Amino acid sequence: MNNTHRRKVGAKVTLALLSVFILLILLVSTVSSQMLGDVNFDGVVDIRDVVLVQRHILGYQPPLTSVQLTAADVNSDGMVNVVDVNLMMQYIQGYINSFPTHHLYAPVLISPVEGASIDGSVVSFQWGAVTGATRYQLEITKVSDGKVFRAVDLGNSTSTAQDAFANDGVQYRWRIRAGSSTQWGAWSLQRTFTNGAVLPVPTLSSPNNNSAITDSSVLFRWNAVSGATKYQLEVLRGTESVPFKEVTVGNITMSEQFGFLRDGTQYRWRVRAGNNTGWGGWSAYFTLTSGSVPVAPVLVSPISVLTPMPGRQVSFSWQAVSGAINYELEIANERDGSFLTKASLGNVTSSIQRGFEDEGTSYRWRVRAASSDGWGAWSNYATFINGDKPGAPALSRPEANENIGRHWINFEWKPVIGADRYQLKISKGNTVYRTVSVQGRTTSLQQDFPLDGSDYTWTVMAGNVNGWGEVWATPRFFTVGSPFAAPVQITPATFSTQIGTDIPLTWRTVDGATIYELEVIDFVTGSVFKTATVTPVAGSVQSKTETGFIPANQNQYKWRVRAGESLAGGNKWGSWSGYWHFINENPAIPSLPAPALLSPAEGAVATGTAVYFNWTPVSGATSYNLQVLYANGSGTQFVYNAAITSPPSPPYQQGGFPDDVTPFYWRVRSGDGANWGPWSFYRHFTNGYWWVLP
């Protein structure tokens, strides 16, 4: 090999060595300047770096290079593991602004776990130990405002119990960091917990989800939540975010709201429960759609009691309503309210109905129309008489088998629609004792009798310009001049409150009586609740304990008693005492008294479809419960059972009344948000006047 060749070879070797040296310098420079956590060398630490480290830990290919491993070991402990991933996530999320040195990594939180609910004023915290740590720091913040609630420097312990929590349903976040004598490590991730039991979400009951409403008022109902003392109802209209209705009620599970438009508007409603620790979560929304329903039809025939409708069948007709696809006809007996028919007829404007007795009975009828959005309002009632002559009146007093100890006796009966005269017939045995005609619409008559203990029967027939009716009222038996006076009642006093399931009834002894009859009536339904025949005992006071009362029902009753003589042919009774009233209540009655009712007054007539109810406010009351019931024999059916909290003071206006001479009972009780007080006694009123013939 000549010298020239050797020089060329040496130059190439020198150049190669120089290239390797430069590469090593660049590599060292890259490693020394590489940012911790920047595994993909793009100048930032982000989620893409975390993904590369996670793939390395799970063994995915290709593996990280030595330079990438150095960048991934953010806590510089010589290992790449989940601790590094945790620190990188804290850095990305802004919980730390640098990676720890000397291997003080963030503690692993143990309890409370994420989303825990902890009752009581003391909360215990626990976390995993950190190698090299000689102390720890606990930080607790409120979720609502992010402010630090408590920051505590702790010794070398991995648990602590912190007190003075309010147990009021407030949410908190907590975290821990480890420290040595010279520095603090990184904060752990935060966890959230709630101090105080959170009330569960109520279950909505009615109206059902996606249902249609056809009235301007809606009664919302939901299931009770254990531990709740109040509820909040929210109703949104259409896509609006501002509530259409936002109402807070006491510990009741319903609320009637008004003002809904029948124009196809969609509404959403939800409820949440609350107590003194705060509010629970909202229920999911239920959706309602308010349909556009037809107006009330105009009745055509029959519409007047002056034109009798004879025969076993009657033809009804009304005017067509725009948009209607169906009609419903209702026919009721005017005297007792019983239905003769209530039929859905289809898209017709007339109907022939059969089954009438053709005996002068008065009926009332009405019609309503339906569209695809639901039923519209009922028409007003029209009244007619089936038959040329009026039916039989209902007798009022004297009552059946009444024993009357006075000369002058008042006979009273119920009016009959279409009648303008009556005939009273009194019989003694099988012989007519007296017949008296009464002209006009008077429904009472006074007659004189001798006080000789004689037995009589009485009945009444109604008539009009077409003649006398063909049916007498069912006769009633009575006696004039009984030796037995009406007993004097003692207890329970009238308009008193009685507690418990067993109630003793007492009265004064009547001279000569060998038997007593006791009667307890359910005031609302008018049905006999208890009746008993009592054998007298020696002494000035007689008594009978009646059982089976249900205090939880808070019913009102009236009771009376009469004395008699037990004879072989049957009992001979004296006059009844007057009725005394009492309410059967729960054993534990709150301190709030029963409100004093003002109007409608007893026996008053309230006209119109809206009635104002007024009572004396009760001191300390925050709400009232108003009940209105039918008083025509179906009194167990609530017409309204409204809890009134806004405004909490009377008077209170309730709409939806028929204004058709329907009788009602009403009563009120007061509440303080936790309990209801006792009910007032019922009052009776009539909604609307009888239509008077000219």
Per residue in 272-281, pLDDT tens?
Answer: 998 866 788 8
Say if residues 451 and 479 touch (Cβ distance below 8 Å).
no
Q: Quickly tell me which residue has 């419960």 as its tokens.
A: 625
- CB burial of 38-54 (b: ≥16 within 10 Å; e: otherwise) equals bbeeeeebeeebbebbe
Residue 648: the pLDDT is 56
Q: What is the mean pLDDT of the chain?
A: 84
DSSP 179-202: E-SS-EEEEPPPEEEEESPPPPPP
Distance between CA atoms of residues 681 and 496, nearest Å: 9
Q: What is the arithmetic mean of pLDDT over 640-651?
A: 69
- Per-residue pLDDT at 3 exceeds 60: no
Distance between CA atoms of residues 265 and 74, nearest Å: 60
- Nearest Cα neighbor of 64 from 31, 99, 39 is 39
> What are the Cα distances from residue 422, in Å, to 35, 400, 448, 606, 692?
112, 20, 19, 29, 17
Q: Quickly tell me which residue has 């959706």 as its tokens.
A: 287
Residue 691: the pLDDT is 47
Say if residues 209 and 242 touch (Cβ distance below 8 Å).
no
Question: What is the percent of the chain where pLDDT is above 70?
Answer: 88
Distance between CA atoms of residues 458 and 437, nearest Å: 13
- Per-residue pLDDT at 288 exceeds 70: yes
Residue 268: the pLDDT is 92
- Per-residue pLDDT at 354 exceeds 90: no
Q: What is the arithmetic mean of pLDDT over 500-521?
A: 91
- Residue 240 burial by CB count (10 A; 0-12/13-18/19+): exposed, middle or buried? exposed
- Strand 476-480 and strand 402-404: the pairing is parallel
Residue 183: the pLDDT is 81
Q: Quickly tell me which residue has 């009635």 as its tokens.
A: 611
Q: Is the preceding peptide bond at 207 cis, omega within 30 degrees of 0? A: yes
Distance between CA atoms of residues 304 and 383, nearest Å: 6
Q: How confident is the model at residue 33 (pLDDT cuts 50, 70, 90)?
A: very low
Q: How confident is the model at residue 660 (pLDDT cuts 50, 70, 90)?
A: confident
Q: How confident is the model at residue 77 (pLDDT cuts 50, 70, 90)?
A: low
Q: Looking at 137-141, 161-165, 258-262, 504-508, which range is the least confident one?
A: 258-262
Q: Quick one: CA torsion of 221, 223, 226, 231, rounded to 10 degrees? A: -20
Which of helix, strand or coil describes residue 464? strand
Q: How confident is the model at residue 2 (pLDDT cuts 50, 70, 90)?
A: low
Is this structure's pTM higher than 0.85?
no
How many CA atoms lie within 13 Å of 86's alpha carbon, on the beta-carbon side? 16
Report pLDDT digits (tens) over 529-581. Answer: 999 999 999 988 899 999 989 887 788 899 999 988 887 666 777 778 889 99
Which of helix, strand or coil describes residue 58? helix
Enclosing H/E stretch for 76: none
DSSP 236-285: EETT-SS-SEEEEESS-SEEEEE---SSS-EEEEEEEEEETTEE-PPPPP
Residue 98: the pLDDT is 81
Q: pLDDT: is 674 or 109 the higher one?
A: 109
Q: How confident is the model at residue 49 (pLDDT cuts 50, 70, 90)?
A: very high
- Per-residue pLDDT at 690 exceeds 50: yes
> What are the Cα distances from residue 405, in Å, to 51, 202, 432, 478?
105, 63, 22, 11
**Total residues belonging to the chain:** 694
Residue 459: the pLDDT is 96
Distance between CA atoms of residues 238 and 266, nearest Å: 5
Give one word for 661, left, alpha or beta, with left for phi > 0 and alpha for psi -120 to 50.
left
> What are the Cα distances from residue 145, in Å, to 149, 171, 276?
10, 10, 21
